[in-house]
Amino acid sequence: MKLLPHPTSYLFFTGKGGVGKTSLSTATAIQLADEGLRVLLVSTDAASNLDEMLGVPLRNTPTPVPGVPRLSVLNIDPDVAAENYRQRVLAQMQDSSTDEERKTVREQLSGACTTEIASFDEFSSLLSDSAAAYDHVVFDTAPTGHTLRLLSLPKAWSGFLKDNDRGASCLGPHSGLKMQEARFNAALAALSDEKQTTVVLVARADKGALSEAARTSVELQELGLRHQRLVLNGVFRATAPGDAVADALEALNNEALHSMPDVLKTLPQAVVPLRAFDTVGIAALRSLLDDKGAPAWLPAEDVDDSRWAAEGLQKLIAELAAAGKGLIMVMGKGGVGKTTIAAALAVGLVRRGHAVHLSTTDPAAHLASTLEGQLPGLDMSRIDPKVETQRYIDKIMASRGADLDEQERALLLEDLQSPCTEEVAVFHAFSRTVASARSAFVVLDTAPTGHSLLLMDATGAYHRQMTREFEGKSTAHVITPLMRLQDPDYTRIILVTLPETTPVSQAAALQDDLRRARIEPYAWVVNKSILAARTQDPVLKARLQGERRQLARIADGLATKAFFIPWVARPPVGVAGLEQLLKS
């Protein structure tokens, strides 16, 4: 099976979290390398699990993949990229600079916007400098919202730096940006060239995933990335006549494909069937695109699964409701059902008599479509990056610009047009949302893991800044967002996962990151378990072997508390659907 009959030099796999971008991009890279081509596989996801899939430690430099000659893998690590960027900026400073001046510059370059531009700088270098070393560069991108941000940056920074000879204040000295301007322009040219770049929109046969792919297609076309292809991954066809679970799953697939948005119908398409195995290891990844080899992965056995007859969301909601107020943050890998679980928790708390504010930090949020209507006692909002950025700019212009002359106001506004202003604005909105949980329940549906970690990094950076400013002074009245997140009586973190290798591993990695920040998750929610469905379909039965292994990982060491949500035939959309999920 060839997803790309005529692959270009740069291949971007993007889509909603959980649709299989990493598996398909990696399988495609292996396939190209097996054909004798030199291939570099790049992850732009801060929460990538390519190391687990390939058995190779991820680095910021190309690393050969054992068992696949001519294939190397690289992960754009935000922390490493940011430190490299800081070192380049410091190297531009004059020899006469004092230690205090260099310390000030390093502090200027410690925030989230520096991390973003540094990661983007690494990304740009791959687009401008890799042609001589590789026949193809395959990008396994972060979930949609983050990827749209990344792919918009070449245009944003090229436009910002044009006729701007000062650089952006939030990124430090002028040379930190201007010395990369030619690279940004080269990246923009490569992305816009249909002969060089193809965007592979990956989706499941699911209405939500297809709708997001359609929105992404339109937005990328507006950015100039018009050479696109659609891959429908994990399409299920029942093979056991009369199996209710298999028939329901196939009907859902067919319904979603039949109502596919028109913008996707015009794109070239490829279909990858649902496979019986987890795509971990070179052999499994090669079999993913091999219809003849895939059936060899079909062992199935009958096992007693009574161990997983655990309590569901109602028990979790009862525990959360006992506090009477507080922040409930729902986190996890994209595509695991964070939005559904967040909405269900909010509905459950409202039904217990509590007022609840439900919000999201996800650029690709779909809270409104999940709830499909209003519920007394529940109000919703969204931290919209564009709205928050304009609000932040207006606030700064009003507070700082009042005493400036016309030219100075123009210069201030120009600095605020920097793409990194969005990161600052979103952090301020997030901080307001966190603080509002002092007197009521706030349920926060977060962006997929990588994006959320950058937001948490901004929270930590702000905390460190406040600590420095109040060094030697009384801090009794200072409460930062990070301090609220670290308070188990104020904040409860719910990690959502699917019973599959990649989501569980990423939830475990997220838990480790949170613990390093002294934030302890309250509980795990395992979503869409099909163990209790008693299916006889051979593909689904084979997939249960992997599910059992993941449930054991969670229950026997990863989670202090775990709640299991069964797979349901109809997606839980609307208040009635969410309430039905609460009863399951």
Number of Cβ within 10 Å of residue 489's Cβ equals 7
Active site (annotated) includes residue 22: yes
Decide if 216 is catalytic.
no
Question: Active site includes 541?
Answer: no
Is the CB of residue 115 less than 8 Å from the CB of residue 82?
yes
Is 394 one of the annotated active-site residues of the chain?
no
User: Which phi and psi angles does 68 have, rounded to 5°?
Assistant: -135, 85
| Residue 277 near residue 297 (C-beta atoms within 8 A) | yes
**Among residues 14, 43, 44, 45, which one is catalytic?**
45
Query: Which H/E stretch holds residue 40?
Result: strand 39-43
Catalytic position from the list 8, 15, 17, 21: 21
Active-site residue, selected from the candidate residues 14, 16, 17, 20: 20
| Other C-beta atoms lying within 10 Å of the C-beta of residue 241 | 9
Looking at 22, 72, 141, 211, which residue is catalytic? Answer: 22
User: Tokens for 230?
Assistant: 């659609």
Active site residue 145: no
Q: How many CB atoms lie within 10 A of CB 297?
A: 18
Catalytic one among 17, 18, 208, 312? 18
Angle separating helix axes 112-129 and 421-435, nearest 10 degrees: 140
Q: From the candidates 14, 23, 28, 279, which is the catalytic residue?
A: 23
Start-to-end CA distance of the chain, whole Å, equals: 39
Helices (H), 436-537: 449-469, 481-486, 501-516
Side-chain-facing half-sphere of 165: CA atoms under 13 Å: 0
Give yes or no: 502 in active site.
yes
| Contact call for residues 79 and 47 (beta carbons, < 8 A) | no
Q: How far apart are CA 143 and CA 14, in angstroms?
A: 7
Which of 502, 505, 529, 535 is catalytic? The answer is: 502
Annotated catalytic residue 144: no
Quick check: 333 and 446 in contact, CB under 8 A?
no
| Residues with active-site annotation | 18, 20-23, 45, 502
